[in-house]
Structure 1
Amino acid sequence: MQFMVISDPQPARPSQVRGIQTTFWDWLDRQKEAGIVKAVYVKTGRGAIVVFDVESHETLHRLMTEWSDCVPAAFTVFPLIDPAHQEAIARKGA
């Protein structure tokens, strides 16, 4: 299952969070190496957009908790569907 997760970190001075940001990037690198993270985009200002490919909602919950432990944030989650699946449905109905 793929999910796009958008973070909105808690307000803080950039200089106050610089040290913990490296914790986030180290954590993110481990998720990429494991094949769990499919894409990462950094938002202008603060925050990130990450596409996860996970086996369960519980795994996604664990990852978001770990992420929030690195950088406290609010998250918006979007479940994603493979475009090929939607295209097949559209073409089948035509």
Structure 2
Amino acid sequence: MIALVNSYPLPMRPSAAAPDRSAVWEWLAPLQADGTVKYFYPKLGRGAVALFEVDSAETLQGYLTQWAEFVPCTFDVTVLVDPGYQKRLVGADD
């Protein structure tokens, strides 16, 4: 399952969240190394966008809960379809 996750931090002074924001990168490093997080981009201003590849919604929920422990936020989650699957579904050649 591939999911595009867009985070929206809760209102607070940026300086109040700075230590926890730094910890996100330490939490993120092994997830990037093992391929769970394909991409992670901070957004201009506040928040971040990440692309996760996980085996289930439950696994993704666990990661999002961990993420929100570092930076309290809400998420928009979009589950993406593999392009190869979509092509097979409509009968197109790969």
Deviation at 1:18, TM superposition (A): 0.9
One-letter amino acid matched to 1:60:
L
Count of residue pairs brought into register by the alignment: 93
Deviation at 1:84, TM superposition (A): 2.6
Q: Percent identity?
A: 39
Aligned residue number for residue 65 of structure 1: 65
One-letter amino acid matched to 2:87:
E
TM-score of the pair, normalised by structure 1: 0.89
Aligned residue number for residue 24 of structure 1: 24
One-letter amino acid matched to 2:47:
G
Distance 1:42 1:49 in 2: 6
Distance 1:34 1:84 in 2: 23
Structure 2 residue ranges without an equivalent (≥5): none
Tell me the C-alpha RMSD between the 2 structures.
Answer: 1.6
Distance 1:47 1:12 in 2: 12
Question: Which runs of at least 4 in structure 1 moved beyond 6 Å after TM superposition?
Answer: none
TM-score of the pair, normalised by structure 2: 0.89
